[in-house]
A and B are shown apart, each in its own frame.
Chain A
């Protein structure tokens, strides 16, 4: 469980996840090939591979970006989030096939080295509709490669969770590049509205889900202040063994209620910055919804032999109102829980 690394641990849930993913990839490619033989039998094999892998990678990317906010809005989506990195690596491999076939098809066997041709055969960088869209896909693929290559906890440990998370947040840059890659590429040619419509609907869904999950995380709430403390919520707002998340002065704080007590710790897991406040108190420990990392709620420390620590925060209870001081205490600082009952 600790932020350490070992060979990939294959447990039952991961195996189920990967088998379903494998089936998805095969089923989509099979469906695409079968439908192509019916609707567009004159298409060349290379174009079919390029288009099948392009659309599959695009769909997988949308699912990857939707899972995070969906799991925040409804914890029943957590099983899809648990092994998302395998989904990401799979998406990269599918996109890599698309990239390799495209470079072979469009840029090999010419009077320039293929990668030179990629950047120079269409030199209309100053124009929008004539822009060399393949370059955008190339840079997105580089980002996906960096993410896939560093997906193992070896890199999480060695890069530090903060750097690792920053690197993996580049997925949003890659997504923007991919949207432009499609808009300035095939959409300029295949003018039927479906592809364009799918792309726009997909983008709107992703933006809406991220916005909704952000609101749920307490960002942007107008909280009344008390001396040094801020009103976070009322006791009844927090379900047993669960948390209320608030964001104050840039601090994302999870206030847990358990066994008639209240404790506040950082909402950011030390593993992959998962939202601890969307987890649950299991066996007396706050359990991260993403990968099950655990912390004791009163001191923000992982139970032995693990060594992770997160910040804790002071709480005050006035009648039913819960107040929190957003100044973080040093990671692992023990605080007496606030009692909610007699």
Chain B
């Protein structure tokens, strides 16, 4: 039987020889197509940053807790040669897609003292990228370990500097995903997740990148210092322009905006 006359019937035990050979070649071609596709897709992923989320690894951190403008723990590690304290402000968030305010309120009730009088030791999962650090209170209020009195009350302060009004172009992100818990934690694929995170109380932030890809990060607050959630969610992950007064609180930048003036630029 020549190849031209061959006819395949699936329930017969063997396929005709010519068809078997053809099928083997076709399968090989499809296989090469699959592997080539995998190579092209994988090797062209250009938007994965090198943020870290220390999943499964809890770290103990002791510092001063601030509830505003967003929850922070300020870790103080001695003083530098000028006698100035060496510190780092770590943004606090809860497990999942929630902000840390509720957990900190419960911790405050537990220790029965205001946060301006104590060092608090917490346990959580570190998230960090490009000099920005967050601590996920993985066990929520149970992340609290202990406290000790703050002797030098002057340490409970932040250095505030006003930088005037600025117009910025960038992207609204949720910092938990952006700085390491998801990659990518920005752009269209992450849009709804970022909206859900901000809806749950994770502070919205603004990423401004220059032509060289270097980024500046800003906490976004309302014009009067109020926390923003639903007002900014529609603009999450889009390229936008916003204007407002900018301040530095220690090493963090904050932009105070009227959300009605946020504009998409594409």
Contact = CB atoms under 8 A, between A and B. Distances in A.
Interface stretch (A32-40, A245-253, A304-312): A32-40
A185 B12 CA distance: 45
A280 B18 CA distance: 17
A292 interface: yes
A186 B41 CA distance: 11
A51 B35 contact: no
Contacts of A36: 42
A287 B7 CA distance: 9
B9 interface: yes
Interface string A170-196: 000000000000001110111110110
Given A12-B13, A110-B196, A292-B10, A130 B45 contact: no
Interface size class of A (residues with CB under 8 A): 35 or more
Nearest to A114: B196
A291 B9 CA distance: 7
B167 interface: no
Contacts of B189: 185-186, 188-189
Given A76-B22, A78-B19, A80-B26, A40 B37 contact: no
Contacts of A115: none
B108 interface: no
A109 B44 CA distance: 30
B151 interface: no
Interface in B4-53: 6-15, 18-20, 22-23, 26-27, 30-31, 33-35, 37-50, 53
A189 to B, nearest CB: 4
Nearest to B22: A76
Contact of A189 (B6, B13, B15, B187): B187
Interface string A4-47: 00000101111000001000100110011001100110111011
A82 B8 contact: yes
A282 to B, nearest CB: 7
Contacts of A186: 188-189
Contacts of B227: none
A42 B183 contact: yes
B192 A77 contact: no
Contact of A194 (B41, B182, B238): B41
A80 B188 CA distance: 37
Given A106-B190, A111-B97, A47 B10 contact: no
A133 interface: yes
A191 B22 CA distance: 37
A90 to B, nearest CB: 13
Contacts of B153: none
Contacts of B266: 129
Interface in A40-86: 40, 42-44, 46-47, 51-52, 55-56, 59, 63, 75-80, 82-83
A292 B38 contact: no
A82 to B, nearest CB: 4
A195 B12 CA distance: 41
A31 B38 contact: yes
A26 B211 CA distance: 41
Interface stretch (A117-125, A224-232, A265-273, A319-327): A117-125
Contacts of A28: 34-35, 38
A105 interface: yes
A134 B193 CA distance: 11
A35 B44 CA distance: 11
B37 A189 contact: no
A289 interface: yes
Interface in A200-240: none
A152 interface: no
Contacts of A162: none
Interface in A79-108: 79-80, 82-83, 105-108
Interface in A278-311: 279-280, 282, 287, 289, 291-292
Nearest to B53: A44
25 contacts: A13-B13, A13-B15, A27-B31, A28-B38, A39-B43, A42-B183, A56-B34, A59-B37, A76-B23, A77-B23, A78-B8, A79-B19, A105-B193, A107-B196, A109-B95, A110-B97, A110-B200, A111-B97, A118-B192, A121-B196, A122-B191, A123-B234, A189-B187, A282-B7, A291-B11
Given A28-B38, A55-B37, A106-B196, 10 more contacts: A13-B11, A40-B45, A43-B45, A56-B34, A59-B33, A79-B10, A107-B193, A110-B199, A130-B188, A192-B46
Chain A to chain B: the 4 pairs with minimum beta-carbon distance, closest first? A109-B96, A82-B10, A121-B192, A189-B187
